[in-house]
Structure 1
């Protein structure tokens, strides 16, 4: 009886080993070993993030070039914009690092046509004269020229305050247009949520700047 038990135990052990080996051999057919993880960001999200980072970076330059002796209300608004956009730049840079993507877009604004938006989509919100997506390398909406930035650096007093408000208001409107376009193209996730947050925050700040310009008897830039 004892011998039979040992034989039976040895047989069961051998069967278990055989089943394990069979499972290892069959595993590639049942569960692929090389499952590719879904991308962290899709091409539209990467393009929008890259371009919005560049857009935010110019906002920081506009803030830096404001006359230090400007009205405290303007200075406070400028600081608020700077603080918010620095945080968002850090967040977006983190996304791009996770996606192993460059922080700069080799083809600015090309993400606008990555999901077939060219043609029948209304791009009036982008303040562009065409009804198709901008070509690769197209300028981002709301960006200031070097001449305008130099003029802001040289301006003082009320002239500096007015020019700052005009440049930043146009800049915010361009950023809101970009965020709205991303919101339409991205279905869900943190990029979409951040784009919506940008729309809300920058629209509110744009409203404040519009009122401040009106108080100074100045008009927004075209």
Structure 2
């Protein structure tokens, strides 16, 4: 017998048993009296248990094969589900790692820029002593000094403040408050921290003004933003 399902085999067996039962009934003197459905079913049920041993093995083998197929399908589905979950988890982890890497790169770039700006400011402060002292200075000369001392990307903001405070007049004095110099320091004498010649040397005043803006606002552009909002800094 080829591999068949249990149900199929049972139906085939019941049919065969019914036929055998009918023949047996005729042989027993029941000729002309057909077996009822109930009797056939009863006979079939009784004799179904007497399936030959070889056929029972085939039925059991078919059943086990079907069970194995079902289990294999279930295992494949579970493995696929686990793989999809693992892939989603890995994708999320990769996205987080990528975001952290981008953030670190941005922070590193910012740190490098700040270091470069600081180095530029330090170099500018050191270059103050290279300017020859003069009895008087033109606006162009003072601006040229400032360009050498202030970072290029900060110069316009720096210049805007000086324009509004003193119009680049190193001797500008506020008659009411006594504020003095390019940056209208109040009192003007506080610029002595940058040099004793603060009253006459624009380089000394620039050094002080740049240090003040960086220290209080982070940069000349930070100071200019504050000035625009408040008209003082």
Q: Which has the larger radius of gyration?
A: 2
Name whichever structure is richer in helix by fraction.
2
Higher relative contact order (CA 8 A, sep 6+): 1
The answer to whether TM tops 0.5 is no
TM-score by length of 2: 0.25
TM-score, normalised by the number of residues in structure 1? 0.25
